[in-house]
Structure 1
Amino acid sequence: MLRSVFLFLLFIYSSSALSDEIIFADSHGPISVIGDHLHKKNEFMFSYRLSKMKMGGMLQGQNKISIDSVMSAPNGASDSSGRYMNSPTLMNMNMHMFGGMYAPTDNLTFMLMTGYLEKEMTSERMRMSGGTRFNVNSNGISDTRLSALIRLYKSDFLKSHIGLGVSFPMGGIDKRDSTPMSSSARLGYGMQNGTGTFDPYFLINNVNNFDKVRVGEQFIIKKPVSGDNRNGYYYGTSIDTTIWSSYRWLENVSTAIKFNYKYLGQINGSDDEMNKRMNPSMDSNNVGHQKINLGFGINYINNNDFLRNHRLGLEIILPIYQKVRGIQMSETYKIMIGWQFGFGQN
């Protein structure tokens, strides 16, 4: 094990010393923006990101509602005549994201992304059941994305490319945990780690260069094409639109502000093993949203000889608008940190 770690560190150090080219911190977008750049011929890049998200409180549409209101709302079972028996109060999620990129030409870069998820949800039971709280947990690998980024245009002022990719159903959709009502209950949709479907996606990305100021735009659309997963449902179309602006303070330091719009359509079908009477997170009527987030980020790239071209990024993401379908948890904040390292020679 120690020998493997030593060899990996030696590889990283030796690869860092290959290039004398000065690379600016703002040549990449905020750390949460993925697929925003291409690489030169025969270049590789590896990356790791850690995303920590917290959710708390409940929304119905755009409105905040109390736990009592959740448990008096009609559920999706029994022609909506029943009521939920418990309600989420808090959720924490850690996502470890691993990425790799390789450019066989200056105009084509392949990208592979996968991840590992850790989720914990706290729920409160209805008062007639004691009003106690309980936790459920899930963890495992996420769906895996493979894409090709293709250059459309490049000049000193504008860089533009598209991306074509597929999300492969590697994440679990059968996660279970113990609850007060069952020793092995199927967890809700948000506690699962994947979609269970093959999901093609398309992106277009532009970056405008105004010397120390850069402005980037990215649009991504993803749509399942394989029909129902093995549990009888598939997610709706998702759209992710981002615009950001960065300022380069030094060659190796830049900051950015980002606006992001996310749309997720309603789910089609439902998992019959999820008890809609128990919790809004198990009710397929409560999937889908429109959200606008505001992000603040900082990028750093090491231009010293030791560990040259290693990048670090940090971003804080806050919700400024949330409209959910049905009853869902409200996002509180997200923090993402990341490391990137590119190397290679023409």
Structure 2
Amino acid sequence: MLKLHGLVTGVVLAALSCPLVYADGNLRSRADKHAPAGLMGDHIHKPGEWMVEYKYMNMYMEDNRIGSRTVSDADAIAYGATSNPITNRMATPTQMTHEMHMLHIMRGMTDDITCYTMIMLPSITMDHLRGPGAGPMEGTSFTTHNSGFGDTTIGALMRLYTDHNDDWILNLAGSIPTGDIFRTSTIPTGTTTPLPYPMRLGSGTFNARPGLTWKHYWDFGSFGTQLQTDLPIGRNYRNYSVSDEFRLNQWYSHLITDNFSASIRVENLWRNNYGGADPMTPDMGISTNVESFRGGYWLNLGLGTAALVNGHLLNVEFVPTLHQDLDGIQLETDWTMAVSWSKSF
């Protein structure tokens, strides 16, 4: 055990004492050149340069929350009997896993403009507990699943200002409604019903996604702050619009060596409730169909690492939720993780 402890200590001390030598003298060529794995839209590329990235994200949700208070499954059903509107008569959600596979392609057009597109493949699984409206099946569980293409993002990153240590980058982006928002299932009733809002693959609308990022580099690391939005334009063909979303992030990445960094990130996330309503999603059945139970505030903490290996950037981040205050009753978010690989050429 002492030998192992000595070996680990030696490796850490060697890494910390390793001189930071930059092959091209550019602070933006190190392991911290990109934001932590859970973020995008923070960097640009040289004219003619391409970048390809694969990113996997997984969000895990378990237990229901009323405002900032976690409740049991039984309490979630009981709450629905007196809530406004009345809900959870057929079932309550108990757990959800939202996975996302993303292909991200970028190309530098000029010194200060980079265009990009992002193709998304979500996979969503939700567990439920049947309520009193299920009759003799009350108290039993069931699972629903949905997957396929999500909405497609296109955009341009414009560098507004740069010097040796700083970049200001404007993100002019939007999404195209390529994700299916009306798939049906015979689970749990045996009759055909549409899947609830959180299990739909897209927004059904064109969304504006403007953002702004500032990054500052030191010899030993970098700091960034980013405001990113997602704003639906009008209502979709099912007569509703998803939440407006605002994300404010600050992060610090510390270089351990030129090719390895560790990061910490704080995220504030706000969403409002849905507008309109899908006429085929009755509120009384389940809380995931209630448009006024979709908003809230989330405070997240990201802990990440990045490694630059022969031009390949490997980026990993684990993001537990520290605090959340939700409108109505909703599944609470426990954690999110993101893993990405990217290569520029």
TM-score by length of 2: 0.88
Within 2, Cα distance between the matches of 1:151 and 1:95? 28
Whether 1:235 aligns to 2:242 is yes
Please point out which of 101, 117, 122 is paired with 2:122.
Answer: 117
Q: Secondary structure at the match of 1:281?
A: helix
Q: Which amino acid aligns with 2:254?
A: Y
Q: Secondary structure at the match of 2:75?
A: helix
Within 2, Cα distance between the matches of 1:334 and 1:300? 20
Whether 1:80 aligns to 2:82 is no
In structure 2, the residue matched to 1:146 is: 154
Q: Secondary structure at the match of 1:71?
A: helix
How big is each residue's C-alpha offset from its partner over 1:164-186, in whole Å with a ceiling of 9 and x where there is no partner? 11111111100222323134221
Cα 1:86–1:150 change in 2 (3 A) is same
Runs of 5+ unmatched residues, structure 2: 1-22
Deviates more, 1:188-197 or 1:22-31: 22-31
Within 2, Cα distance between the matches of 1:299 and 1:148? 25
Deviates more, 1:269-278 or 1:138-147: 269-278
Please point out which of 262, 272, 276 is paired with 1:265.
Answer: 272
Alignment size in residue pairs: 317
Q: Which amino acid aligns with 1:175?
A: R
Cα 1:177–1:31 change in 2 (3 A) is same
Within 2, Cα distance between the matches of 1:193 and 1:278? 21
Cα 1:76–1:21 change in 2 (3 A) is farther
Question: Could you tell me whether the CA contact under 8 Å between 1:120 and 1:136 is conserved in 2?
Answer: yes
Cα 1:295–1:82 change in 2 (3 A) is closer
Within 2, Cα distance between the matches of 1:96 and 1:183? 31
Question: Could you tell me whether the CA contact under 8 Å between 1:91 and 1:122 is conserved in 2?
Answer: yes
Deviation at 1:82, TM superposition (A): 6.2
Q: Which amino acid aligns with 2:112?
A: N
How big is each residue's C-alpha offset from its partner over 1:136-169, in whole Å with a ceiling of 9 and x where there is no partner? 0000111111111111111112111101111111
Runs of 5+ unmatched residues, structure 1: 1-19, 303-307
In structure 1, the residue matched to 2:62 is: 56
Deviation at 1:93, TM superposition (A): 1.6
In structure 2, the residue matched to 1:194 is: 202
Within 2, Cα distance between the matches of 1:44 and 1:288? 37
Within 2, Cα distance between the matches of 1:75 and 1:232? 26
In structure 2, the residue matched to 1:282 is: 289
Q: How does 1:128-147 map to 2 (within 5 A)?
A: 129-147=137-155
How big is each residue's C-alpha offset from its partner over 1:39-66, in whole Å with a ceiling of 9 and x where there is no partner? 1111100000111221100011111122
Q: Secondary structure at the match of 2:175?
A: strand
In structure 1, the residue matched to 2:180 is: 172
Q: Secondary structure at the match of 1:93?
A: strand
Cα 1:149–1:82 change in 2 (3 A) is closer
Q: Secondary structure at the match of 2:269?
A: strand
Cα 1:324–1:81 change in 2 (3 A) is closer
